Structure 1
Amino acid sequence: MGGFLSLAGPKSETKEYHEVSQYETCKRQRLSPSIDEESPRLIPSLPDELSVQIIARLPRICYFNVRLVSRKWKATVMSPELFKLRQELGTTEEWLYMLTKVEEDKLLWHALDPLSKRWQRLPMMPSVVYDEGSSKGSSALWMWSMLGPSIRIADFIRGWLGHKSSFDQMPLCGCAVGAVDGCLYVLGGFSRAAAMKCVWKFDPIQNAWIEVPAMSTGRAYCKTGILNDKLYVVGGVSQGRGGLTPLQSAEVFDPSTGIWSQVPNMPFSKAQVLPTAFLADMLKPIATGLTSYMGRLCVPQSLYSWPFFVDVGGEIYDPETNSWNEMPNGMGDGWPARQAGTKLSVVVDGELYAFDPSSSLDSGKIKVYDQKEDAWKVVIGKVPIYDFAGSESPYLLAGFHGKLHVITKDANHEIAIMRADLHDTDSIPSSSTSDIAGFSDSLADSDAVIWKIIATRDFGAAELVSCQVLAI
């Protein structure tokens, strides 16, 4: 279902992707002597059990070339059993998967191996569209554009007030992204005026997209989170008679069984106590984030009425009691908000971090939640962010290798993955700065962190959309 990265030479690290089509791969295999024909073993003179032990210890980035050796080698490196063995041996690797928008209607996934600094471009996502005139229900999904032009939150909030404009004619947008059990998931979204239920999964072992059971409710701009190896989906919006309608429902997907189950609706308790009926009708409650923290799901919430939004704390889902409770006041009221109230957060090494853009578009702060004091505290006073016009997400947060990472564009307009090495202020030498070219001035007042760029890539005019981390 698409090309994969060739690592034939060192130039692949700095030059454009060298992709090999399925036709070229098959041609190579026909021209090369097959080990399957010469020997029934993976490695001659070695039992296959020992050969698999050796392969399991290879860096995962090598598998893209290893599978070209023969059909048997390809079957081995694409088998779930090999990756289970990697887990047992402790050779599992964390890769960063990043979604970018390169044109008005084209989005691409890219994977980064942080250790080798090498990139892989994923196969294109399957394309679907909902046929409103069809009576086939869920089967009325036709090949089209899985992720069409991105529309800003402000644009679809106008729909709540009945200003539909050209929304009904827009291609699919507003899909949610999640990651569980070593796979990427793309869920729902809008196609024209219909909220989608469909769910697609990318299996990095097979290097392919497959359709999985659909959600019970069509939803767009929903929030996703992982808890107990299950994928939770909460909130979002659907198309109602008067425009877009916020959803209070939630559901959970178990990848081991392929079954969706219902979760109790979010009460939106603070939204129920508005002082007047006018405000209750005007302000629309919506989930603005979702983070798995301390074994529970934390969902910050807001009330919207274009062009305003008001934070109303949030709610926490406890899987043990299968119930929602109001979020602690300090946690909910102080949760930093970015564009249109969306809450951007990540958990790293058990700590909950959130990005606070403050009032500046070219910098921001990172805060950490102090559970004992029920308060958000600044841990990084200034994050070097370059504002690039028209971007939906000028920055993303990710946690891997036990470190907090910020993904943004650098001074050369290349997408940069920056690692934040946090230190006690007293332990930092006065000469400590950063190895990020062009960022030294921005870091002058950042005494508690040393920034390090672990990888960059020139994606041209591409914009950041979302990111996930997979451990495989």
Structure 2
Amino acid sequence: MTTTTTSGGQPPQPSAEPRLIPDLPDDVSINCLSRIPRYYYPKLSLVSRSWRSAITSSALFTTRSLLHTTQTSLYLILRINYSFHWYPLLYNCHSRKIPQKPIFSLPRIPFQPVGPAFAALGPKIYVIGGSINKTPSNSMWVYDCRFNRWAEGPRMMVGREFAAAGVVNGKIYVLGGCLVDSWAEVFDPDTGLWAPVPSPIEVRENGMHASAVVEGRGGVVYDIGLGNWGKVSKRAAVVRGVLYCCDYLGKIRGYDVEKGVWKKLKGVRLPIFSCGATMVNFDGRLCVVWEKKGSGKEVEIKCADIEVWKEEDGKLDGRILWSGVILKVPDGAAIVHCMAAEF
């Protein structure tokens, strides 16, 4: 750092902002910081104001993407006292089997629609449609996990409530939530445009309560490559090309697309759920989140991190890497959805 001397006996003043790391250009320092797991970022932000600014900068997240040092975090949405609350669940960098408990609640969305669809693409979470004052909305709100803020996105072609959404090849497909010609549409984040997806009348359902790129309560499935529609019989999450489902008895099954049959997942046994579980693909593993009645006036939110694979004979096998309570909330709270965001 250089200094300049002023007339009148004034003390020397710095001519430039101090560097993040002395004797290193800031772009090299950003390159170093981008290689550190995000688990350490809250502590690194305490080093100085410039470090706090650096670890939340666009330059750092761009560098992390270029260096392929991005990490995945689980985001959980709960309904507590008729309002939605969002929590990030970060994983300990030393042991990905042990999730860190939520460190804060995310800022609330400006509007809280009833029955929106959810999608996660890269570092962003999309809240699509839903009912506002009992009227289906065509709105879309986008949460940027990197900068902890909401922004309004381009509106859909029609209003929807209880629709289903999924991400394929960098685009977001939304199905249902209405009974009009534009029953399905697709959003391209690169262009910011929505476009209709042709759908035959016989596959259309109004309310959709789950999606797995993409399927709903009635088992509607859309082949993006062929543009064909079909049906499956369970709600599921996709991991390594296999659709997995879980019933209230804790039994997990996987759907064999080629043979059109469900197969039991061996080696994994979960407890009976008081309510249905929600599932998500987490870095190629199956993450299951469910509710359990706790002691007193509280509900325990439990999570299981499951490694799954297919045997040579086509059978599905797995093992639980970690399972336990990740959050305790007031009695009456319920899980709305969980998603995995990468940044």
Q: Deviations over 1:405-444 (max 9, x none)?
A: 211135744212112345899xxxxxxxxxxxxxxxxxxx
Cα gap change, 1:207 to 1:219, in 2 (>3 Å): same
Larger RCO (CA within 8 A; separation ≥ 6): 2
Q: Is it true that 1:364 corresponds to 2:243 in the alignment?
A: no
Q: Is it true that 1:230 corresponds to 2:171 in the alignment?
A: yes
Q: Is it true that 1:123 corresponds to 2:106 in the alignment?
A: yes
C-alpha RMSD over aligned residues: 2.9
Q: What's the % identity of the aligned pairs?
A: 29
Contact in 1 for aligned 2:304/2:321 (Cα 8 Å)? yes
Matched ranges for 1:256-405 at <5 A: 256-264=190-198, 266-269=199-202, 287=208, 289-292=210-213, 298-300=214-216, 302=218, 314-318=220-224, 320=225, 323=227, 325-327=228-230, 332-333=231-232, 335-336=233-234, 343=235, 345-357=236-248, 363-380=249-266, 382-387=269-274, 394-405=276-287
- In 2, distance between residues paired with 1:247 and 1:301? 20
Contact in 2 for aligned 1:246/1:285 (Cα 8 Å)? no
SS at match of 1:49: helix
Equivalent in 28, 34, 46 of residue 56 of structure 1 = 34
Give the total of aligned pairs.
313
Cα gap change, 1:290 to 1:232, in 2 (>3 Å): same
- In 2, distance between residues paired with 1:290 and 1:37? 56
Q: Deviations over 1:73-115 (max 9, x none)?
A: 3332222331222123232111000001121x22100001122
Partner of 2:288: 406
Partner of 1:242: none
Q: Deviations over 1:385-408 (max 9, x none)?
A: 341xxxxx5421122132212111
Partner of 2:9: none
Q: Deviations over 1:356-382 (max 9, x none)?
A: 33xxxxx23211111232111111574
Cα gap change, 1:424 to 1:68, in 2 (>3 Å): closer
Cα gap change, 1:394 to 1:258, in 2 (>3 Å): same
Q: Deviations over 1:192-238 (max 9, x none)?
A: 2311111111111111111111112111111000011111111113x
Cα gap change, 1:458 to 1:197, in 2 (>3 Å): same
SS at match of 1:458: strand
SS at match of 1:120: coil
**What is the CA-CA distance between 1:289 and the residue it aligns to?**
4.0
- In 1, distance between residues paired with 2:191 and 2:75? 25
Contact in 2 for aligned 1:95/1:112 (Cα 8 Å)? yes
- In 2, distance between residues paired with 1:110 and 1:468? 11
Q: Is it true that 1:110 corresponds to 2:87 in the alignment?
A: yes
SS at match of 2:151: strand
- In 2, distance between residues paired with 1:288 and 1:268? 19
Higher helix share: 1
**What is the CA-CA distance between 1:263 and the residue it aligns to?**
1.9
Q: Which runs of 5+ in 1 are unaligned?
A: 1-35, 129-145, 147-171, 238-244, 272-283, 293-297, 303-312, 337-342, 358-362, 388-392, 426-446
**What is the CA-CA distance between 1:183 and the residue it aligns to?**
0.5
SS at match of 1:50: helix
Q: Is it true that 1:93 corresponds to 2:71 in the alignment?
A: yes
Partner of 2:304: 418
Cα gap change, 1:198 to 1:235, in 2 (>3 Å): same
State the TM-score, normalized to the length of structure 1.
Answer: 0.60
Partner of 1:40: 18
The one-letter code sitting in structure 2 at the alignment partner of 1:58 is I
Cα gap change, 1:450 to 1:68, in 2 (>3 Å): closer
